[in-house]
Chains A and B, each alone.
Chain A
Amino acid sequence: VNEAIKVDIWSDIQCPWCYIGKRKFEAAVAAFGGDVEVEYHSFELAPDTPVDFEGTPLDYLSERKGISRAQAQTMVDRVVGIAASVGLDYHYDTIHQTNTVLAHEVLHLARAHGRQAELKERLLAAYFVEGRHVGRIEDLADLAAEVGIDRDEAVAALTDHRYLGDVKADVAQAAAYGINGVPFFVFDDRYGVSGAQESSTFLQVLEQVAAEVEATVS
């Protein structure tokens, strides 16, 4: 296939399955061999979360879902184990639960500079692995600068919410598609796949779509 397969991915920075799904998808792309063009889209799992949530992720989970801290710990233990199986070292003891709308805004700025993939990975690692705060302008500008985006421009764009409209457009598109959970993958503007699927599943979808594209072209 000469033409790249477009994959649009809806996800949120503080979604543990999104990072795990990202790794599984990347493994599929590596095995696929053809060109794949990825664009990340915004999905706010908890837009009402304060920027500085008072409490731990366990507090957040138990409050949000109405479960005990022990039950929340069970959930965390499971996701940490699965993350480890794909090479991700989640540290839930240092996570800063926050509002992610600014993180989504800076990802749109990064896209405008052709650095979205780099910043997406940087933000996920910062949040899940390094315990960095990803909800404040100054912190996000630091992370953006790490992937080559002008820090002052990032501060300005986040201060005047230059990309908030793009975030909301993504959220609206997700609603139009009927997406209520992430990660969610749309292949070639046609095929929807939900969840952190196994790499083998992603690979089969890529091959299926590639075969269809090739048949259409020829």
Chain B
Amino acid sequence: VTGRALKLPSALVGLSVPAADVCVDGWRGPSDPLEGDTDQVARPGGEGADDQPPESVGQGRSVSV
């Protein structure tokens, strides 16, 4: 599995998985034509897309599966 990594502030390790549909305020998904936004992974602190490699994600290890 490859893809954008999560960026988590706590002891959680972000797994590198594809972006997938989520509900946010109201709801939407990454491939909604209305949004045009393919980055729907967790974005702590309201930060933008995280293009860093998995190894730099969060405070712990990151694992690609």
Contacts and interface: CB of A to CB of B under 8 A. Distances in A.
Interface of A: 12, 15-18, 20-21, 45-46, 60-61, 64-65, 67, 71, 74-75, 78-79, 82, 176-184, 186-187, 190-198, 201, 204-205, 207-208
Contact of A191 (B7, B34, B44, B63): B63
A207 B1 CA distance: 12
Contacts of B34: 65, 67, 71, 74-75
A79 B21 CA distance: 10
Given A15-B27, A17-B29, A75-B32, A192 B22 contact: no
Interface of B: 1, 6-15, 17-30, 32-34, 40-46, 60, 63, 65
B interface: dominant SS: loop
A180 B17 contact: no
Contacts of B44: 177-178, 180
A192 B14 CA distance: 5
Contacts of A61: 26-27
Contacts of A75: 27-28, 32, 34
A191 B43 contact: no
Contacts of A46: 25-26
A207 B61 CA distance: 17
A215 B56 CA distance: 24
A196 to B, nearest CB: 5
